[in-house]
Structure 1
Amino acid sequence: MLPAARAEIVVDLAAIRHNVRVLREVAGVPVMTVVKADGYGHGMVPVARAAREAGAEWLGVATLDEALELRASGDTGRILCWLYVPGEEYDAGVAAGLDLTAYTPAELDEIEESVGDTGRTALVQLKIDTGLSRGGASPASWPALVERAREGERAGHWKVTGIWSHFSSSDEPDDPANDAQEASFRWALTVAEAAGLRPEVRHLANSAATLLRPSSRFDLVRCGIASYGLDPAPGETSGVDLWPAMTARASLALVKDVEPGDAVSYGRTWIAETPTTIGLVPVGYGDGVPRRSGNHAEVLVGDRRRPVRGRVCMDQLLVDLEGEEHRPGEDVELFGDGHDGGPTAQDWAEASDTISYEIVTRIGSGRMPRRYVDSETDPGAPA
């Protein structure tokens, strides 16, 4: 039974270290552990420290704020960030020695202003859009970005440390887009080399490509979801020993009997056909539990999976205890590593018609406090 918490998230830092070590071994090149979005809901700073302990040479984040928080926590290693808006303040990023991604010459112009303000040479990486149609320079605008980058490098404003892109469909290894994107990336590298750029790292592979597409590993791989022990391509990566790091737990708040014909939760979407017992679990979509998981997901109570009945509410959900005797205060495991027979984040993703990324990231942004354990240094630590 949880000692006092209504609900909590338990993160095993040993699992993070294990996963980073596995990914480094598989890749055979340096690894960037992506810790954006508060470490995919696991806690950015503790995850970053565990990843560094396991040998992660780089960390990756989306925003400057995230990168600067890592610096403030004491991290002195290489950190790449990549998402800005016009007028962003780059001074602190340049001064902190962050690797800043540029998509356009206009971004390079703003970085150049910060170089003048700080008196520091910037570290810059260039991103090419190879088919995701998201961040990055289009192939048509790539030569101009490369020329501007080389001009600034000659002037001593920055050093171009990397060139990179991102797959759209690497979790589907047979998708022809993967070949097309890799070919586009190789073209972009050729253009950059012809302009005189010599970046220290070229990187394209995300978690799924790291595991499934050796030709895309180049000098560095960026691993997000796999670092947290979740399969980036369910059904495609068998044999890779990843350990899910997050367990989401709560305590039963109430147990009550319902009779045939009694409806459960809003909208009467589930009505008991036989006498049964319902357990109230005090977490809901306000805690990041997907609302659409109602009537589809399962939790672990005791040693059995129990179905969620009715719609998930803002602060609570209801599970069918199927007539068995349980008491308020008993543990409920929403999802974990699956070794105890309970559901996993992937199970919840399938029940909610989403991906495991969203399950762990959303549930980490609600009201459930995190507790960190380390099964490597303290094998007896309660999960």
Structure 2
Amino acid sequence: MDEEVLTTWLEIDLGAIQHNYRLLQAISQRPVMAVIKANAYGHGIGGVVPALTQIGATWCGVARIEEALEVRRFSREIQVLVLGYTHPFWVEEALAQDISLTVFDPQTAEAYANQARGLGRELRVHAKVDTGMGRLGVLPEGAVDFIRWLMALPGLKVEGLYTHFARADESDPAPTLKQIRHFDGILETLTALKLRPRWVHASNSAAIFNFPQARYDLVRAGIALYGLHPSPETPLPSSFRPAMALKARLVSVKVLPPESGVGYGHRYVTRDHERIGVVAAGYADGIRRVLGNEVLVHGQKAPVLGTPCMDQIMIQLDGVMGAAPGDEVVIFGRQGEGFISVEEVAERWGTINYEVVTNMMARLPRIYIDPKDDEENG
């Protein structure tokens, strides 16, 4: 779709995602599982999966079986692991679509095995250990017995074992080192018993950088894949590139007289004659209803006035010469010499960058920058 006819859209740089993936491979020296849950962190499974398979990505991780089936619409080759819970109803479809599931308790594992045996098949699974997240997974003291039991359970093929770090993005390494010790103890015993699965993985984006000893056979990269910082304490190297920009059109410019209210509740009132622009983006597109937002127009920052509406925001244009209806407005991303990062927006909204990008609404068209175009433009 030609973005010239759009009023609000997301621009996704697929070349940046490929670039970041290669950096993560080089840093970890391991296969990288691209975590593409939540519609590829808002970037769009339909654009991201083909871009990753184009450069040879072999694994992806999702949260739900529905996301795994969406991946299969775009790639038959990439290995897919569902990291969250899957109802046993979906075992037949998982087998048909060559999707691996997570097991974290005997009841779910047995239900999966029964379904698979009934179909005369083996379901590939990864066992999850809760080493300190307090979420899904068997506790460390029961992990070896659980794996031993799983390995002997007809209908299942245990191809992986993993855990998840709760605090790998923080400055204090102690909690993560404790989790690693728990996990390493399990692996040592399993190795001695010749029960170590083929794919052992633990590192999320932050751990890839902060805990090289936890890279094991595979690393799982989510937020870093999209060029976003795992946390303020774990910023990405400057070589990573953010992939998403939120853009809209300036659709109206007019001068309002002094003491004119702007927007619902008149939370902004003009002090003098002021040039007010209307931008076709609002909270139904993912913009938060907070005061103090800014956007870029002609590469310059312009303040958002008052409370964002559902489909529109109003901006102050007295400091931006020549702004006119039809101009591109950037809510976050780069425009000329100007740049508003997702992290800057997240701080203003009182949240984290993960939530900003995953809350980009489905009604926003995703416009993909082809990697070849990206290379040509340097």
Quote how far apart the aligned CAs of 1:372 are. 1.2
2:125 matched residue in structure 1: 124
Q: How does 1:228-377 map to 2 (within 5 A)?
A: 228-234=226-232, 236-237=234-235, 239-291=237-289, 294-322=290-318, 324=320, 325-337=322-334, 340-363=337-360, 365-377=361-373
Deviations 1:262-296 (A, max 9, x none): 332223333333432221111111112222xx322
Is residue 288–residue 366 contact of structure 1 (8 Å, CA) maintained in 2? Answer: no
2:208 matched residue in structure 1: 210
Is residue 286–residue 366 contact of structure 1 (8 Å, CA) maintained in 2? Answer: no
Q: Which runs of 5+ in 1 are unaligned?
A: none
Is residue 338–residue 344 contact of structure 1 (8 Å, CA) maintained in 2? Answer: no
2:165 matched residue in structure 1: 167
* Percentage of identical aligned residues: 35
Quote how far apart the aligned CAs of 1:58 are. 0.8
Distance 2:132 2:272 in 1: 53
The TM-score, its normalising length taken from structure 1, stands at 0.90
Quote how far apart the aligned CAs of 1:194 are. 5.4
Is residue 41–residue 362 contact of structure 1 (8 Å, CA) maintained in 2? Answer: yes
Q: Which runs of 5+ in 2 are unaligned?
A: none
Among 220, 230, 246, the alignment partner of 2:218 is 220
Distance 1:213 1:22 in 2: 16
Is residue 15–residue 374 contact of structure 2 (8 Å, CA) maintained in 1? Answer: no
Cα RMSD between the aligned structures?
A: 2.2
Closer, same or farther: CA 130–245 of 1 in aligned 2, 3 Å: same
Deviations 1:94-120 (A, max 9, x none): 232222110111111111122123322
Deviation larger for 174-183 or 303-312: 174-183
Deviations 1:65-110 (A, max 9, x none): 2112222323222111122255442111123222211011111111
The TM-score, its normalising length taken from structure 2, stands at 0.92
1:137 matched residue in structure 2: 138
Deviation larger for 172-181 or 213-222: 172-181
Is residue 211–residue 237 contact of structure 1 (8 Å, CA) maintained in 2? Answer: no
Deviation larger for 28-37 or 135-144: 135-144
Distance 1:278 1:175 in 2: 49
Closer, same or farther: CA 240–28 of 1 in aligned 2, 3 Å: farther
Is residue 13–residue 375 contact of structure 1 (8 Å, CA) maintained in 2? Answer: yes
Q: How does 1:17-96 map to 2 (within 5 A)?
A: 17-84=18-85, 86-96=87-97
Deviations 1:294-324 (A, max 9, x none): 3222111112011222112211112221354
Distance 2:171 2:354 in 1: 19
DSSP 3-state at the match of 1:218: coil
Closer, same or farther: CA 222–240 of 1 in aligned 2, 3 Å: farther
Is residue 276–residue 323 contact of structure 1 (8 Å, CA) maintained in 2? Answer: no
Deviation larger for 142-151 or 60-69: 142-151
Quote how far apart the aligned CAs of 1:237 are. 3.3
DSSP 3-state at the match of 1:14: helix
Deviations 1:131-178 (A, max 9, x none): 1112222335434532331221xx4x2221111111112111324211
Is residue 173–residue 212 contact of structure 1 (8 Å, CA) maintained in 2? Answer: no
Distance 1:151 1:339 in 2: 60
- Structure 2 counterpart of 1:207, one-letter code: S
Closer, same or farther: CA 87–77 of 1 in aligned 2, 3 Å: closer
Quote how far apart the aligned CAs of 1:26 are. 0.5
Distance 2:336 2:100 in 1: 39
DSSP 3-state at the match of 1:76: coil
Quote how far apart the aligned CAs of 1:2 are. 4.8
- Structure 2 counterpart of 1:321, one-letter code: L
Deviation larger for 37-46 or 231-240: 231-240
How many residues align structurally?
375
Is residue 301–residue 332 contact of structure 1 (8 Å, CA) maintained in 2? Answer: yes
Quote how far apart the aligned CAs of 1:238 are. 5.2
